[in-house]
Amino acid sequence: MRTAEEKNESRSDAYALTRHSPTKFYDGKTCWVHPRAGIVPGAGKDGVPRVVMTMNTLDVSGSDVFKAVLSMHTDDLGKTWTEPKPQASLAPITENIDGEDRPVALSDCWPTWHAASKTLLGTGHDVVYTKNWKVQSPRPRSTTYSIYDPAIDSWSKWQRMKLPGDQFADAGPGCVQRYDKEDGSILLPIYFRPAGKNSRVIVTCCRFDGKELAYQEHGNELSIDDATRGLHEPSLTRFQGEYFLTLRNDKLGFVSRSRDGLQFSPIQPWKFDDGTDLGNYNTQQHWVTHSDALYLVYTRKGANNDHVFRHRAPLFMAQVDPKTLRVIRATEQILIPERGARYGNFGVTQVSPHETWVTESEWMQTWPPNTIIPVDNKYGANGSVWVARIRWSKENKNFTNSERRPL
Res 406: pLDDT: 38
Alpha-carbon dihedral of residues 167, 209, 402, 258, nearest 10 degrees? 20
- pTM for this one? 0.96
Supply the CATH number for residue 166's domain: 2.120.10.10
Give the Cβ contact number of residue 131 at 10 Å: 10
The predicted pLDDT at position 153 comes to 97
Q: What is the pLDDT of residue 98?
A: 87
Give 38's DSSP letter.
E
Task: Answer whether 187's CB lies under 8 Å from 236's CB.
Answer: yes
Per-residue pLDDT of the chain (407 residues; tens, 9 = 90+): 777 756 666 667 899 999 999 999 999 999 999 999 999 999 999 999 999 999 999 999 999 999 999 999 999 999 999 999 999 999 999 999 989 999 999 999 999 999 999 999 999 999 999 999 999 888 899 999 999 999 999 999 999 999 998 999 999 999 999 999 999 999 999 999 998 899 999 999 999 999 999 999 999 999 998 889 999 999 999 999 999 999 999 999 999 999 999 999 999 999 999 999 999 999 999 999 999 999 999 999 999 999 999 999 999 999 999 999 999 999 999 999 999 999 999 999 999 999 999 999 999 999 887 899 999 999 999 999 999 999 999 999 998 644 554 33
> How many CA atoms does the CB half-sphere of 88 hold within 13 Å?
0
Domain housing 294: 2-404
Residue of 135, 284, 112 lying closest to 208 (CA atoms): 112
Looking at residue 225, its pLDDT comes to 87
What local confidence, expressed as pLDDT, does residue 20 receive?
A: 97
**pLDDT given for residue 6 in this prediction:** 62
Phi/psi zone of residue 31: left (φ > 0), alpha (ψ -120 to 50 degrees), beta? beta
Element (H, E) at 288: strand 286-289
Total domains in the fold of the chain: 1
Instruction: To the nearest 10°, report the CA torsion of 289, 291, 261, 181.
Output: 100
